[in-house]
Copies of this chain bind each other. A is one copy, B any other.
Amino acid sequence: MCELMGMSANVPTDVRFSFAALSKRGGATGPHRDGWGIAFYEGRGARAFHDPQPSAQSEIARLLRDYPLKSEIVIAHVRRANRGRVALENTHPFTRELWGRAWTFAHNGQLKGVKKRPLDAYRPIGSTDSEHAFCWLLGRLRKRFKTMPSQAALDRALGALCEDLSQLGVFNMLMSEGRTLFAFCNKKLFYIVRQAPFGVATLVDEDLRVDFAAETTPTDRVAVVASNPLTRDEVWSELPLGKLSAFRAGRLA
């Protein structure tokens, strides 16, 4: 299995605090040592960092724990391989272009028989179930809509495709096109929305505290999604099971 972390905010936001927790679970406080990756959206662009090294020891992960890269949407993943060997091409998040948008996808779980689903426009580069599922999802969206549809139509269509896929097994996933952080969960995903009045939080995985009041302005709003709560002194909620959740500008739509 793997762990996921996602962020949606209404202002460019630094995720070093959350990433510090997640990346520890990649080989230190958790067993997810088979690579990791993170994608940061900035406007229409997305930049991703991938490493087949355990995130707890990765030099690139260390840079990202130190360097304040601000973003409105982030998707991160630490991997414990089940299908697909440990290799760069098998590290999440995966990225493809659709309708002139950079789409990013990360998955936790296994989808029995997903590789039997026929693909057309998108082909996997690596050998994971997850990338096959992503290619299938995007291919279906592409077939259905020639150009970017309305937000409501996209939410509905993607939701139906995810419900279909989730019949095949454990399907906890994060996905984005740069505007919405989509989260689907049929087993376990937690979230928290931080907004004024901001408080203090302490990570579960290491003795690191942050006072969000000192780091934010009163109108900031930040949602964080994670496979397991990242902090020990805040209340995290479970995402509803078996349906697509959409976070926009730090708010659960």
A87 within 8 A of B: yes
A52 CA to B45 CA in the complex, in Å?
10
> Do B96 and A125 have beta carbons less than 8 Å apart?
no
Q: Is A161 an interface residue, CB under 8 A from the partner?
A: no
Judge if A81 is at the interface, Cβ distance under 8 Å: no
A60 within 8 A of B: yes
Interface residue A67 (Cβ < 8 Å from any Cβ of B): yes
Is A125 within 8 A of B50, CB to CB? no
A43-B97 CB under 8 A given contacts A63-B63, A121-B121, A125-B102: no
A50 to chain B, nearest CB (A): 5
In the assembled complex, A126 has its CB within 8 A of some CB on chain B? yes
Q: Which residues of A contact B (CB under 8 A)?
A: 42-52, 59-60, 63, 67, 87-91, 95-97, 99-102, 121-126
Task: Count copies of this chain in the complex.
Answer: 2
28 contacts between A and B (CB under 8 A): A42-B52, A42-B87, A42-B89, A43-B87, A43-B89, A44-B125, A45-B87, A45-B88, A45-B89, A45-B90, A46-B89, A47-B48, A47-B50, A47-B88, A48-B48, A59-B63, A59-B67, A60-B67, A95-B95, A96-B96, A96-B97, A97-B122, A97-B123, A97-B125, A100-B123, A100-B124, A100-B125, A121-B121
Give A48 to B40 CA distance when docked, in angstroms. Answer: 13
Chain B residues with Cβ below 8 Å from A99 are 123
Give min CB distance, A126 to chain B, whole Å: 7
Q: Which 10 residue pairs across A and B have the least CB separation, nearest first? A: A45-B88, A45-B89, A100-B123, A42-B88, A44-B89, A47-B50, A63-B63, A59-B67, A102-B125, A44-B125
> Is the CB–CB distance between A44 and B100 below 8 Å?
no
Q: Which residue of B lies closest to A100 (CB)?
A: B123
Task: Give Cα A183–Cα B200 distance, bound, in whole angstroms.
Answer: 53
Q: Which residues does chain B contribute within 8 Å of A124, judged by CB atoms?
A: 100
Q: How distant is A146 from chain B, measured CB to nearest CB, in Å?
A: 11
